[in-house]
Structure 1
Amino acid sequence: MKFIVSIPGLAHTIPMNHYVPQALRSLGHEVIVFNHERDNWVEKIREKISKPAFLDYKNEQLLQLIDREKPDVFFSIYGRTQTAEIIRKIKSKKILTASWWLNDPFQLGFEAAPAAEYDFYFTNSLYTHDDYRKKGVQNIYFLPVGIMPELHKPMTQRQYKYDVLFAGDHKPNREEILADLVKKGIKVAIMGPWKARKMKYDDILAPYFIKRSFFTPEEMVQVFQQSKIVLNVHTWLDLCDYGVNPRLFEASGSGSFQLCDDKKEISMLFEPQKEVVLYKSPAELPALIEYYLQHDQEREAIAEAAYQRVVRDHTYTQRMQTVLDLIAKSKK
């Protein structure tokens, strides 16, 4: 089949912009990528004058590409760069439409994109789907992210550099948790775009940053490989007990032992405490960290089990095969 994959610009934090096309191509499909990023200085000026007008302009380019290439499927990552009218125009050409929304549960797709217009709508949380159905989104499916085995893989000969590592954006709850660990004498390496002016505990945490800016997927894998424990704190830790983030898979794919706050979907994806160790409350972290730093063999066995699981069940190729299977089923 021929796909046109729409990506929402080259954002630092959206690596699936690249992973989705790669996975579809690996399955033998033709993929044309349409990027909503401004391409030149004229488009930069257009965007500066009016963001909505710029998106209309880019979507006209998209429709021209669709008329020229006549794809079987239009696949939009996030889908917030298209309006309901654009999706209806694409569907009028007898082209199947799909979108993958990755911000559940802290931002639901129907709040930012015309979710109900798509033939297939995928989200990273199973437990938000009733909210979508109330908004008229009927063809909704659970599709978490995964790994790219060519990138996410263990170090051939592991050499530890960090006891505990946290990699991710700044959120007040994350800052509170990390500051509390440092106060208790736990050394936590931190990587991510944390601005001091946003932080309450900058004086405490500043010495622990190994990179205080955006990081590439390659940099993230490297530090995961060098860490005894990767700490995963969902940004919506205090909001709800469901929805899974990319770190759940990326850390395991890097061969790392992971401590992660418990979310309902995780038990469907991993075997808790045998492939990923879950905590209910941040208050549990100091004891868990101390225990697993002292039990190397147990920690490394869990990390290996997690790696075997993601390679077997949680790759981007498998995610795209799920999409293809649903499309094939709908055609029958």
Structure 2
Amino acid sequence: MKILLSIPEHTKTIPMGRFVEKALQQLGHEVYVFNYERDNQVERLREKISYKSFLAYKNNQVLALVNTVKPDLFFTIYGNNHDAGTIEKIKQKGILTACWWLNDPFDLAYKHIPAHLYDYFFSNSRGTQAVYKHYQVKNAYYLPVGIDPSVHQPQPGVKKEYDIVFAGDWHPIREKVITELSQHFSITMAGPWKRKIAKDSPLRSSFVNQRFFTPAAMAELFNKAHIVFNLHTWYGRWPYGVNPRLFEASGCGAFQISDNKEEIKDLYLPGKEIILYDRVEEIPELFTYYLKHPAEGEAIAAQALKRTLQSHTYVHRMQEMLDIIS
């Protein structure tokens, strides 16, 4: 199949676009990529003058590439940059269209993009499928992310330097919970929190990196952790939807403790491949136990790694998507 893949420029901590490109190529497909990065100073100036005209300019480039490539499938990640007119023009050429939205459940796609126009629409939350159907989104499917085994992998010989590691973007609930936990546990952190937390925040000394980190840097950090702590930003608001860390930590062979989401039980076996908590009050006991019993955590991590490689790579995800489309 000939596929035109459109990737966004803004997903700095989750650059799955290139992972998707690689996975599709590994499956034997011919892939052309349109990247919304600003390619030169002229484009940056055009964006500053008028963002609306800049997007129109970029969408004209997309349409020109469509005419040149003549793909069987136009596939966009997020699709924030594509207006309704662009999608309609692509569809008029008899080309199938698909979108993979990855901000559910906290930021639903129909608020930002013409999700109802795509022939196939995928999101990272099973719990939001009914919402999309209500808004006339056709062929809405649940499709979580995964890992690239060449990046998210165990690193033999790397020493376990840190008790507990957290990597991810800032959110008020994350700051509150981790601040409380850091009073009793050593938590090492990475993520763009510098402008979000107070100058005298006790968390500042916990960071090894307060900027956006690369997938490789994150993988190295996870390999150095006895425990990788996962807390979805929508904890306490929605019981469904899974984030990329769920898979990435497990792909690195790391032992993970995460808040529970409805989809997880079908992805990993609770208690055998991952440890879950329903309430933050449960976390201190879990941290204490597994820091004292590292062998148990390592056994769980080994099972999670096996499951991830068997079922949760980007190759698996792209095959699932294409099976649905075909």
Q: TM-score range by the shorter chain?
A: over 0.9
> Which residue does the alignment assign to 2:244?
246
Post-superposition shift, 1:138?
2.1
> Which residue does the alignment assign to 1:39?
39
> Which residue does the alignment assign to 1:186?
185
Q: Distance in 2 between the 1:175 and 1:201 partners? A: 14
Q: Does 1:324 align with 2:322?
A: yes
Q: Say which SS state the counterpart of residue 182 (structure 2) adopts.
A: helix
- Superposed CA offset, 1:241-260 (max 9, x none): 11000000000000000010
Q: Distance in 2 between the 1:182 and 1:35 partners? A: 40
Q: Structure 1 pair 83/249, CA: closer, same or farther in 2 (3 Å)? A: same
With structure 2 as the length reference, what TM-score do the two structures score?
A: 0.98
Q: Is the 8 A contact 2:162 2:225 kept in 1?
A: yes
Q: Is the 8 A contact 2:118 2:138 kept in 1?
A: no
> Which residue does the alignment assign to 1:8?
8
Post-superposition shift, 1:202?
4.2
What is the 5 A alignment of 1:1-332? 1-9=1-9, 11-183=11-183, 185-196=184-195, 198-200=196-198, 202-328=200-326
- Superposed CA offset, 1:67-116 (max 9, x none): 11101100000011111111111011010100000000000111111111
Q: Which amino acid aligns with 1:51?
A: Y
Post-superposition shift, 1:212?
1.1
- Superposed CA offset, 1:10-60 (max 9, x none): 641231111111000001111110011211111111100111111111000
Show structure 2 runs of 5+ residues with no match: none
Q: Is the 8 A contact 1:36 1:58 kept in 2?
A: yes
Spell out structure 1 runs of 4+ moving beyond 6 A.
none
Q: Which amino acid aligns with 1:113?
A: I
Identity of aligned residues (%): 50
Measured on the aligned residues, the alpha-carbon RMSD in Å equals: 1.2
Q: Structure 1 pair 142/76, CA: closer, same or farther in 2 (3 Å)? A: same
Q: Is the 8 A contact 1:80 1:114 kept in 2?
A: no
Post-superposition shift, 1:157?
3.0
Q: Which amino acid aligns with 2:263?
A: E
Show structure 1 runs of 5+ residues with no match: none
With structure 1 as the length reference, what TM-score do the two structures score?
A: 0.96
Q: Which amino acid aligns with 2:104?
A: D
Q: Which amino acid aligns with 1:316?
A: Y
